């Protein structure tokens, strides 16, 4: 059991820092991707589960990919992925699309795959603490599947949560998709 979100966050960040290599999400996503057109995703960094090959595959198979744009207030706008070579530098070293469609563009996504440090079996998602994705996920259409991208070892029994935390439907790992029992605190 984790006493605080900060303690849990630090434990998962430390474990990721010790990973020998980051694994990608492409193989597992290819096996479970529902029949969708527009996927909201993100460009992975460092030891996060890698999304680059997944983004390339989605674009090559005629899907549209929305990528986040981090605003100064830590909220997220969204832009259509033009291809990896055409991304521009964003805040905090992020790679972003050059055209911002606004923060409400996530409501047009058919599937959202968001970053996480860990996810609990009841759907509680532990992010990095800025609240960016909790605000963005509040704007998704009802019924839109939301998957958290994590490693298998980052799917845990429970995590601390706050009332503003937005639960997710599943955990996408490099090995498989793990359906989660969404909690009543969403």
Annotated binding residue at 127? Answer: yes
Annotated binding residue at 125? Answer: yes
Annotated binding residue at 184? Answer: no
Question: pLDDT (tens digit, 9 = 90+) per residue, 78-132?
Answer: 999 986 568 888 888 888 999 999 999 999 999 999 999 999 999 999 998 888 9
Q: Where are the domains of the chain?
A: 5-19+36-96+108-163
Which pLDDT band holds residue 186 (cuts at 50, 70, 90)? very low
The pTM for the full model equals 0.91
Q: According to CATH, what is the number of the domain 5-19+36-96+108-163?
A: 3.40.50.10420
Please say whether the beta carbons of 61 and 80 come within 8 A.
no
Annotated binding residue at 18? Answer: no
Question: pLDDT (tens digit, 9 = 90+) per residue, 10-53?
Answer: 999 999 998 877 899 999 999 999 999 999 999 998 899 999 99
Count Cα neighbours of 4 within 13 Å in the Cβ-side half-sphere. 4
């Amino acid at each position: 059991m984790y006493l605080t979100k900060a303690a849990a966050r630090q434990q998962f960040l430390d474990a990721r820092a010790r990973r020998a290599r980051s694994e990608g999400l492409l193989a597992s996503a290819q096996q479970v991707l529902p029949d969708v057109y527009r996927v909201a995703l993100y460009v992975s960094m460092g030891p996060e589960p890698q999304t680059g090959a997944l983004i390339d595959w989605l674009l090559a198979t005629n899907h549209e990919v929305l990528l986040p744009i981090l605003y100064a207030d830590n909220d997220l706008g969204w832009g259509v992925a033009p291809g990896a070579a055409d991304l521009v530098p964003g805040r905090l070293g992020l790679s972003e699309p050059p055209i911002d469609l606004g923060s409400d563009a996530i409501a047009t996504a058919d599937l959202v795959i968001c970053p996480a440090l860990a996810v609990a079996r009841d759907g509680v998602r532990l992010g990095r603490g800025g609240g960016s994705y909790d605000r963005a996920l509040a704007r998704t259409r009802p019924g839109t599947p939301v998957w958290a991208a994590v490693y298998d070892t980052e799917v845990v029994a429970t995590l601390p949560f706050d009332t503003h935390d937005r639960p997710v439907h599943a955990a996408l790992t490099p090995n498989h998709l793990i359906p989660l029992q969404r909690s009543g605190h969403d």
